[in-house]
Amino acid sequence: MSDLEAWRAKAVAWCESMVPTFGKAARKGLSVEDDLALGRRYQKAKFDAGFAGINWPTDLGGQGLGHIEKITFEAEEMKHGFPNVYFGISLGMPVPVLMQFGPDRDFVKERVLKALQGEEIWCQLFSEPSGGTDLAGLRTRAETDGNGWKINGQKVWTSWAQYSDYGVIVVRTDPTVAKHKGLTYFWVDMKAPGVTVRPIKLAGGDSHVNEVFFDDVKISDDHRMSPVGGGFAVALATLMIERYVATDSAGFGPHLDLFVDLAKEVRLNGKPAIEDGRIRQQIARNYAMRAGLDSINVRARRMMEAGMTPGPEGSLNKLVAVRSRQKLSELALDLQGAGGFAFDEHASPKDDWASSWINAPTGRIAGGSDETLLNTIAERILGLPQDHRPDKGIPFNQIPA
Amino acid sequence: MSILYDEGQQAIATESRRALEARVSKDELLPLLQTQGVYHQPFWATAKEQGWTALALPEAYGGLALGLIELGLIAHQAGRTLSGAPFLTSSFGAAKAIELYGSDEQKARWLPDLASGETIGAIAFAAGPDPLPAEPTVTLTGDRLTGIAGAVSGGLFADVAVVLASGPSLVLVDLSGVERAAIDSFDNSRCIADLSFADTPAETLATGDAARAAALHILALQAVVTAHEQTGGAEALMEVARTYAVTRKAFGQPIGAFQSIKHRIAELYGLVELARANCIHAASREGQADFITAAAAARLSATEAYDTAARDCVQIHGGIGVTWEIGLHLHMRRARSLALEQGSSFFWEDVLVDRLAGDEA
């Protein structure tokens, strides 16, 4: 058994042992607050078992292992529906950025250890009402104020902000230079005076995203994590941290075998749906597409194991998988006919077709919309020209609104 | 499990690409379309010289004992250059049928010449739209074959054929005395012919359920090679579209700056990479229980990639794209001829879903 296989076996055994306490059945019917409390216990258990911060340095509480061990563990963890969603952003981007750029090392160490054990949660304050995709178009500003700074403005789509203790934030510190050049990167205390968090209820009924308002929020200069005016580079570094994460060719919706089972149960015009050519074609095409993604992901893992850098084709995963999930979910509801109306807003999008369907649009927008991803593939991989950008090189305060 | 190509395999890809790019031009390929009974001789000469015909056959019969992975890499390059003669798959299929289901005597008689490329093989299973008919049109009586095997790719030049006949039976037929009629096709370089058997001697390889299973296995092996060829064609078209989109200007900018164009090409990238991934996976599953499933997925995604790339690449070129001279129609034609050989998407969709639903025969 290779080291990696031994690691996987250890992960499998631990995950299975956690199912009675933290699995889907244990979470059923819990309020979000109770589920979060369970999640904090899960995160602590994970830390104690040596599965938290797998690829992080040991002097900060990590395990000092590689990226491949991390995604191997996550691929196993993903199968059980544990309450870990609250820590995904926190441990995914803001805390690693804090580790890399946080100026006060004692403070950093304390925060990292608490975040790894589920005691503290961090959010990422990037998107704004006037610009999500156009990150550098943000308008929230920070002005110098004595020895520190004063933040005013609004962020939006901030995941888990209502439960967060800290956040990382990009703000405009100089509106008189080109938009990318006037940004600075800070961390903020989410409980500080002047910070107001308002949850946004989404179409599917849940509220994990928020609007966050900053009203004369005062921070000292030791919160600064980039040079003044050098925030965009750190923001990009944040977005680049997790290029290869554990992926799911089902687009984080139900797996295809659930659709096949449904098609075998349901009758369509008097015949089993699995015999209907339209259904068969969808099954076959979705299988071929998802099998392709699986193969790309396996190859990426093997390349990492071999010390190579995976190819850019990994960027296809979200684009292709979520579109397939959306259409397949529509079709699953079609197959159920009037039986498809039943809706439980707390059902899991991983095994409930209605929940998968109503929540699928989020997947096509968050983390880069389909259109943005196609642009990225076209421009970065294929070298096609950039879109026309009339705001290029113009001072931010002179860009026509 | 998918695989990473090793150094030897990468060398095969590089070397075959170099050899084919040096020896193939569109101006040689265009006339083949208008003439029946001509295939791309330089390709087959190259294939023989380079040992590609021997690649996936056992050493005992003059082969190189490599497999689908290596042959797939060459097929990919043949697809890129549009040069592949039908024998790349037809001779391979016939040779594999003999290797897997033939007697020692049959192997000794046919495999060495198939390995050297001097003998050309063909596969004749289809009856009309059905690539694996329950009731084949060719009748086997005793050890004699009668009837017409329709539209056999490479059939015009084949020396030996593996035929699915009534029974069902999988039989081996020496074609030396067999009458053949060329079919005038939109892709004449495939050398498609009807083979007429009239009391023709045939040797049985398998009968009953075993014959059907054997025929499906051979089709799947060929389909993986063809899927690589299709993916190579789709990849080349994606690159042609990309190059045109950065060079051609309209309204004061390269047309590739328009999202309607750049997104179309980005979507092609997705189709090509999914097809490539499925091809690599399928080639690495030869001999495993899920091989047919993997082959079907590769075949479906490669067909979609090549057809879409042909359609979209012509569209991106506008008027020039539909001219004889520029030759994009060569890819359009090849995309369709490869989509029909070894069973259309309808066939492979059914094969795949039967397996996913647990209903396979």
- Mean pLDDT, consecutive 10-residue segments, chain A of 401 residues? 89 97 92 95 97 95 92 91 93 93 93 97 94 87 95 96 97 96 97 97 90 97 96 88 72 94 95 96 97 93 86 90 96 95 88 94 90 94 93 89 71
From B256, B294, B304, residue closest to A384, measured CB to CB: B256
Write the pLDDT tens digit of every residue in B166-191: 999 999 999 999 999 999 999 999 99
Confidence (pLDDT) at B360: 63
Confidence (pLDDT) at A241: 74
Rounded to two decimals, the ipTM of the complex is 0.94
Report residue A187: phi and psi, to 5°: -110, 150
Secondary structure of residue A156 in the 3-state scheme: strand
CA distance B127 to chain A (A): 21
CA distance A154 to chain B (A): 31
From A257, A291, A296, residue closest to B273, measured CB to CB: A296
CA distance B123 to A357: 45
Confidence (pLDDT) at A293: 95
CA distance B62 to B57: 7
Cβ-contact B327, B236 below 8 angstroms: no
CB B296 to CB A284 under 8 A? yes
A interface with B, Cβ–Cβ below 8 Å: 256-257, 260, 263-264, 274, 280-281, 283-285, 287-289, 291-296, 298-299, 302-303, 306, 313, 316, 319-320, 371, 374-375, 377-379, 381-388
- Residue B224 in this model has a pLDDT that exceeds 90: yes
Query: What is the SS3 string spanning chain A?
Result: CCHHHHHHHHHHHHHHHHHHHHCHHHHCCCCHHHHHHHHHHHHHHHHHCCCCCCCCCHHHCCCCCCHHHHHHHHHHHHHHCCCCHHHHHHHHCHHHHHHHHCCCHHHHHHHHHHHHCCCCCEEEECCECCECCCHHHCCCEEEEECCEEEEEEEEEEEECHHHCCEEEEEEECCCCCEHHHHEEEEEEECCCCCEEEEEECCCCCCCCEEEEEEEEEEEEHHHECCCCCEHHHHHHHHHHCCCCCCCCCCCCCCCHHHHHHHHHHCEECCEEHHHCHHHHHHHHHHHHHHHHHHHHHHHHHHHHHCCCCCCHHHHHHHHHHHHHHHHHHHHHHHHHHHHHCCCCCCCCCCCCHHHHHHHHHHHHHCCCCHHHHHHHHHHHHCCCCCCCCCCCCCEHHHCCC
B interface with A, Cβ–Cβ below 8 Å: 1-4, 242, 245-246, 253-254, 256-257, 259, 261-263, 265-267, 269-270, 273-275, 277-278, 280-281, 294, 296-298, 300-301, 304, 348-350, 352-353, 356-357
Q: Beta partners for B201? A: B144
Q: What angle do CA A25, A30, A33 make, to 5 degrees?
A: 135
Report the chain B residue with the minimal C-alpha distance to residue A308: B4
CA distance A210 to A126: 12
Write the pLDDT tens digit of every residue in B285-295: 999 999 999 99
Take residue A384 and report the two structure tokens written for it: 């096609």
Report residue A348: phi and psi, to 5°: -85, 130
Write the pLDDT tens digit of every residue in B322-348: 999 999 999 999 999 999 999 999 999
Take residue A340 and report the two structure tokens written for it: 């498809």
Q: Write down the pTM of the prediction.
A: 0.93
Q: For the residues B133-161, what does the mean pLDDT come to?
A: 96
Take residue A112 and report the two structure tokens written for it: 């990292």
| B278 interaction partners in chain A (CB closer than 8 Å) | 288, 291-292, 295
